[in-house]
Amino acid sequence: MSQHKSLKDKLRPYAYLSPAILSMTVLSFAPMAYTIYIAFTNFNLYHFKNYQFVGFKNFVDILTGPFKNVFAPVFVWTVIYALSATLLSYIVGLLLAIILNNKHMWETNFYRAILIIPWGLPGTIAVLTWTGLLNQQYGGINLILQKLHLPMIPWLLEPFWAKVAIIMVSVWMGYPFMMNASLGALQAIPPELYEVADIDGASWFQKLTKITLPMLTSSTLPLIISSFAYNFNNFGTAFLITGGGPPRTDTSFAGHTDILVSAAYKLTMQANRYDLASALSIIIFLIIGTLSLLNMRLTGAFKEVD
């Protein structure tokens, strides 16, 4: 009886975990395994039933073959977009955090509540609202420029301005997170360090470069890496604003503002190139996985707890 009860106690945790394990298997692991399988075949619209195993051909086609001219510009723009959105969000958030952390500033909580609004809005609603504001004909931004007797900007029609618009919206949506994280890190810096610096006659800039920024590095660097990984894979903002456009003249598989994940979406839903889309998805997964491992290493996630 005691042995039966002991076995039952050992199996109880697995019974509690079984719904989560089952859902992860069905919704995550099975699609991932199928994607890996399709990436090594020629499964597409032209070989829907009689597809064959082709090895690494899809990866070769994307990286060095005929689809290199599609992949290379999209990859470069994805890196530029992720870097720009991440660094600008961090800079804006850090500057606002330094201002809010000033002990002489009144009503800090009020300003903090206002500045955090972009973080509290649903992402889809915020992006679609910005899409309306950026419209060339009746958008609010161009109407203001018109009132100021300035030329209207074709935000969503020209490649350069479309990219600027996507980065601008991403920064607007991303700075509150960086501001909160930086503010928490600033408040954790011992005030004695600034008191000693004041006694030594250090200027504001010297205190910023010698105390504030070095103390912030260890706590904010993992956040910067995770934010870069998020923006690298940020399908919603990039696709909802421009749909990947304006279109490119040299290919129909990707537009000027498509990032890797939206290019994979178009390869699947519009071109029916499931083989190439699966291979591209694996490349994206490897990039994001590498960044995640780096982030966990920096945060000490692999260290054993005594």
- What kind of fold does domain 65-298 have according to CATH? MetI-like fold (1.10.3720)
Give the Cα separation of 179 and 184 in Å (integer).
9
pTM here? 0.88
| The predicted structure's pLDDT at residue 305 | 45
Q: Where are the beta strands (DSSP E) in the chain?
A: none
| The predicted structure's pLDDT at residue 296 | 80
Q: How distant, in Å, are the alpha carbons of 26, 96, 105, 239, 255 from that of 249? A: 40, 42, 53, 19, 9
Give the Cα separation of 201 and 199 in Å (integer).
5
Q: In tens digits, what is the pLDDT along the chain, a chain of 306 residues? A: 555 567 777 777 888 888 888 898 888 899 999 999 999 999 998 888 889 999 999 999 999 888 888 899 999 999 999 999 999 999 999 999 989 988 778 888 888 889 999 988 999 999 999 999 999 888 999 999 999 999 999 999 999 999 999 999 999 999 999 999 999 999 888 889 888 988 888 888 888 888 888 888 878 888 898 999 999 999 999 899 999 989 998 888 899 999 999 999 999 999 999 999 999 999 999 999 998 888 888 776 555 544
Contact 266, 203 (CB under 8 A): no
| The predicted structure's pLDDT at residue 10 | 77
| The predicted structure's pLDDT at residue 3 | 57
